[in-house]
């Protein structure tokens, strides 16, 4: 059995924890947990993975720093080659790849993403795939919203999702819905 490691970092939104493994000197990100209003990320990580060991590496430290900067509002490009997509179903991988193409400062809807991946009647499937996104921030699932402009769910909570969208220049109407000025797909 391969050992999985975890490294926890601080952020303006409490903590985030990266679950990773190392094989033949290659790092593979298995999961990223964000803290939510109820639990810190390291508690969530330990509940999901019983035998993880705390460790770090230069690659993980650099990734953690980039995520910290992103969570402070700075634009970042992330290396998706580190992600272990084997933890995803085929449809989830398609959804995550489509989501990753949404540029900073833009949003899309679950329905538009479903159409983009040639599953036009699968908006709910898209929403579920994003709700289980194992790589939040690197795959920017905060950029997916409901067709009516409501923000929808997010692993780190709705306040975090709104703040991340605001960092990217997304505007909100007085009713709390996203202005659909920059819609992708």
Give the whole-angstrom CA distance, residue 25 versus residue 54: 17
CA atoms within 13 A on the CB side of 30: 15
62 by Cβ neighbours in 10 Å (0-12 / 13-18 / 19+) ranks as exposed
Q: What is the pLDDT of residue 1?
A: 56
Strands (E), 12-112: 14-23, 26-34, 53-54, 108-109
Catalytic hit among 44, 67, 137, 141: 141
Q: What is the pLDDT of residue 60?
A: 97
Give the whole-angstrom CA distance, residue 52 versus residue 162: 31
- Has 141 been annotated as catalytic? yes
Q: What is the pLDDT of residue 82?
A: 95
Identify the segments of the chain with pLDDT beneath 50. none
Which CATH architecture is the domain 89-167 placed in? Answer: Orthogonal Bundle (1.10)
Q: Name the 3-class secondary structure at 138.
A: coil
Backbone angles phi, psi at 17, to 5 degrees: -130, 130
Q: Name the 3-class secondary structure at 96.
A: helix
Helix 90-100 vs helix 123-131: crossing angle, to nearest 10: 80
Q: What is the pLDDT of residue 3?
A: 86
What is the chain's alpha carbon radius of gyration, rounded to the nearest angstrom?
A: 16
């Amino acid at each position: 059995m391969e050992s999985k490691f975890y490294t926890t970092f601080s952020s303006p939104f409490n903590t985030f924890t990266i679950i990773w493994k190392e094989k033949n000197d290659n790092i593979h990100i298995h999961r990223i947990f964000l803290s939510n209003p109820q639990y810190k990320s390291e508690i969530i990580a330990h509940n999901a993975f019983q035998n993880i060991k705390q460790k770090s590496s230069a690659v993980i430290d650099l990734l953690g720093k980039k995520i910290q900067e992103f969570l402070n509002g700075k634009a970042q490009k992330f290396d998706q080659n580190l992600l272990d997509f084997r933890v995803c179903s085929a449809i989830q991988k398609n959804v995550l790849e489509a989501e990753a193409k949404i540029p900073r400062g833009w949003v899309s809807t679950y329905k538009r993403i479903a159409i983009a991946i040639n599953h036009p009647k699968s908006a709910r499937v898209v929403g579920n795939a994003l709700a289980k996104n194992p790589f939040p921030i690197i795959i920017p699932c905060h950029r997916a919203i409901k067709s009516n402009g409501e923000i929808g769910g997010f692993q780190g909570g709705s306040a975090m999702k709104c703040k991340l969208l605001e960092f990217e220049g997304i505007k909100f109407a007085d009713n709390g819905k996203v202005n659909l000025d920059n819609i992708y797909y």
